[in-house]
Chain A
Amino acid sequence: MAHHFRSFLAAIALCLPMLAAQAAVDPALLRPLAGDDPDARIEAVARIAALASDDARKVLQALQDETLYATADGRVLVADDAGTLPDGAEGIVVNNRLRAAVAGALSGMALLSPDVAQRRAAAQALQGQAADPAQLPLLRKALLAEKEADIRATLQTLVAVADLQSEDAALRKAAVLGLADSGNPALRAPLQAMLERRPDGSHAEPDASLRAAAEATLRAIDSRVARAEFAGKLFYGISLGSVLLLAALGLAITFGLMGIINMAHGELLMIGAYTTYVCQTLFRQYLPGALDWYLLAALPAAFLVAFGVGVLLERTVIRWLYGRPLETLLATWGISLILMQLVRTVFGAQNVEVANPSWMAGGVTVLGSLVLSYNRIVIIAFAALVVAAVWLILNKTRLGLFVRAVMQNRRMADCVGVPTSRIDMMTFGLGSGIAGLGGVALSQLGNVGPDLGQAYIVDSFMVVVLGGVGQLAGTVIGAIGLGEVNKFLEPVAGAVLAKIGILVFIIIFIQRRPQGLFALKGRSVE
């Protein structure tokens, strides 16, 4: 019995600088705390919490910290650092049940904190728990004082859920109707409980009109939840699509425009991801204050590194193989093996850790229950930016003009003075650099390891082939479409089967339309 021992120590060692302070809470409320009746003690906690005053918070905090003492005549004292305890004061023993009640009450009281973040956290913490009617007065008080719209909405839901269990039919009805606007799936259980029958056959909710209202509210919530789920799939589909797009966009240039089967494309993604890792390490070492912004440095770095590797590959290997696509395929596969092993030798075979910057952590909640994480939103926006940039480069710059000219009619472009060989080099470099940018994005979503590229190579080719070779718009639609189909199939078939289903679909699709979704018009025997 540690408490007795401690109070014993406090009693005999009065030299300890402890001053007992009478809590400024009505002693009648406090008295049951010192008693033996567990139910009375829990009720006392609830009533103290309902005071919602600063003193009440102090008492509860003391109870939680086990610095609340009771004297033999029933006075309850808070021990603080500056005082002594009267003789015979014993520590109040807190059992698990009481401790839970105190913790709940304290988190409820945080609703009244002046700090917005604390209030929001408290409201969200309460949301996860079962509604407790004892907290109702506190919730109402907090609701009156609250100015922030999102916290108000949370509190309103909490009050309504607590009201559902009220004795007053009018209150219950108001609560049922008030909940109709909510999309929180957690509300289903209390509403469902109203519709159930007790074992004796009577309804849990005696009022028939209220039952009908509850049913309507339940339906409204269900449809909201379904909508939120649908929106969630849509969002995750777009998110997956944008990842596929970033992975495939470089390939849309090297394979789509130039016709080079670059099996090392995945490794260019990997190089981008590892460049991000190196940037992060350098920032951590030399600029720890700006660590959050390492991605901004990683973007140009990844582009340049991948661009450099791409140009090197084009000059040393690929340019000797133009017009021999199958040989290109084999040679670039060899390159991919070498790049993978190189990374393994330099960075080790294990995955390296790339952390999201803090501004990408967290997410925004929409439609009640749908959390859109910031890193996915950022990557969707980033993919859109990269597509726009590629479009601009290809259609609005001199380099883009040359690229298109060489791809459409190499000999004629050569005749009018376009340096075709240099353009080949620059185009391949551009495609590789964009793969590097894709690698930065991938590093923010998944593991970064030497095998990173392998996971994306088949997908990337699928996207480009599906969209139609040489078509930027086709690649975009192909990627987003694949992402959406994948996310909508997943809950039905499971992740692996969904993926297999999509591969089979693409294989069949290519058989029907070998030229892809968007074919260039033209005549050709082949």
Chain B
Amino acid sequence: MNRPALFSKPAWLALGAVTVAALLLPLLNLAFPPGHALHVSGYALGLVGKFMCYALAALALDLVWGYTGILSLGHGLFFALGGYAHGMYLMRAIGRDGVYQSALPDFMVFLDWKTYPWYWAMTDSFWYCMALVVLVPGVLAFVFGYFAFRSRIKGVYFSIITQALTYAFMLLFFRNDTGFGGNNGFTDFKRILGFDITAPGTRAVLYLVTLALLVGALLLCRWIVTSRLGRVLQAVRDSEARLMFIGYNPLWFKLFVWTLSAVLCGIAGALYVPQVGIINPSEMSPANSIEMVIWAAVGGRGTLVGPIIGAFTVNGLKSWFTAAFPDLWLFALGLLFILVTLFMQQGILGLIGKMKRRPAPADAAATPAASKEAA
């Protein structure tokens, strides 16, 4: 079979233009002094960097939800686990500059611990922690997914148990004795690979790495969904029973995409932590995971680009609302949930698509059979 192009020509152009624009931001931040008309503030840069992490998580979620019909309410867990894995390195990198001037992180001194627990072994190595960022969410997702998919748990049941899973982990990480800082989590980072973590240069590099990984992940996901594998995944979404009658075993396809999605989410979390400067168990709260779903839904699920747009839109709105009308944000978010599910099933991209070519039928990739995923 002929594999379709990753993107159409205009889409490539748009993607390139946006990427170049995003590349310019840190340069404008570094090249022009504050007060200059072309200066981009560090705050704005940090905000965009944070949104890109969210976008990566939404992209990962879209791969399983939009293309495979598996709605996860637990991606916040993978995000947080990636963040914690990176956070362990960042905590070690503080060295003796903590409040208590101890080799141990402050929260361990506070618990009167004398040595690192075993699972903190080797976390002073950056690359080991980077391996953890990939492995911890990946292995957890693989094991959990294997058992869930093998017993053919699907639809809302799967969603509910992923929610229970992240809730259980949240309770676990809230405990001080778990060894991850309890309520407060990890914060007060000082440096990363020897560079000052608050320096504009370091922040620009973090931003660029995030941008590169986001674009890379987008291309990877796009490559997957346009491959034969991607067609099987969409078949799982549209009618898993029929796929099984044809002779496929959906288990490994689902497991592959589920694990990959968890890993991408973990990477997003790992990029998020140094830019935001804190990770705590509230990232694992069920509410956070559901919010990720709405990013994907607002942008348009099953489009890959849509969730990225959605993450920027929703979080941009959130930043604006929480500053301008803090009391109204939850009303707005709640309404967004309702309106998107009732009136905008294809999200923003769907709206644009409708406006662009009203008479022609929408193309396959942009219009998943939204109403059938749980049939």
Contacts and interface: CB of A to CB of B under 8 A. Distances in A.
A297 interface: no
A510 B150 CA distance: 12
B331 A338 contact: yes
Contact of A462 (B151, B152, B164, B345): B164
Interface in A295-347: 317, 320-321, 323-331, 333-338, 340-342, 344-345
Given A338-B335, A341-B330, A496-B174, A329 B152 contact: no
Nearest to B241: A525
Nearest to A499: B171
B60 to A, nearest CB: 17
A146 B165 CA distance: 59
A504 B168 contact: yes
A17 interface: no
Nearest to A508: B147
Tell me whether chain B's interface is mostly helix, strand or loop, or mixed: helix
B2 interface: no
A73 interface: no
A446 interface: no
A320 B327 contact: no
A503 interface: yes
A321 B374 CA distance: 12
Given A326-B374, A333-B337, A338-B335, A511 B327 contact: no
A435 to B, nearest CB: 17
Interface in B111-156: 144, 147-148, 150-156
A37 interface: no
B334 A336 contact: yes
B155 A325 contact: yes
Given A334-B338, A458-B164, A458-B286, A510 B159 contact: no
Interface string B329-341: 0110111111011
Contacts of A65: none
B153 A326 contact: no
A335 B338 contact: yes
Most buried by B among A329, A331, A334, A338: A334
A325 B297 CA distance: 15
Interface in B242-292: 286-287, 290
A337 B164 contact: no
Interface string B18-43: 00000000000000000000000000
B161 interface: yes
A326 B157 CA distance: 10
B342 interface: yes
B341 A327 contact: yes
A506 interface: yes
A321 B342 contact: yes
B159 A514 contact: no
A465 interface: yes
B157 A510 contact: yes
Nearest to A336: B334
A512 B151 contact: yes
Contacts of A519: none
B71 to A, nearest CB: 5
A326 B327 contact: no
A454 B151 CA distance: 29
A324 B144 CA distance: 25
B172 interface: yes
A326 B341 CA distance: 9
A14 interface: no
Interface string A409-443: 00000000000000000000000000000000000
Contacts of A321: 341-342
A526 B69 CA distance: 14
Given A334-B333, A336-B334, A496 B71 contact: no
Given A326-B156, A345-B327, A503-B165, A331 B151 contact: no
Given A327-B341, A526-B241, A333 B373 contact: no
Contacts of B210: none
A508 B151 CA distance: 10
B148 to A, nearest CB: 6
A334 B345 contact: no
Contacts of B294: 330, 334
B58 to A, nearest CB: 14
A254 to B, nearest CB: 13
Contact of B334 (A334, A504, A510, A512): A334
B314 to A, nearest CB: 12
Contact of B153 (A341, A454, A510): A510
Interface of A: 261, 263, 317, 320-321, 323-331, 333-338, 340-342, 344-345, 454, 457-458, 461-462, 465, 496-497, 499-500, 503-504, 506-508, 510-512, 514, 525-526
25 contacts: A261-B156, A263-B290, A324-B370, A326-B155, A331-B337, A334-B335, A338-B331, A341-B331, A342-B331, A457-B286, A461-B160, A462-B164, A465-B157, A465-B160, A496-B172, A499-B168, A499-B171, A503-B167, A506-B161, A506-B164, A510-B151, A510-B157, A511-B147, A514-B152, A514-B153
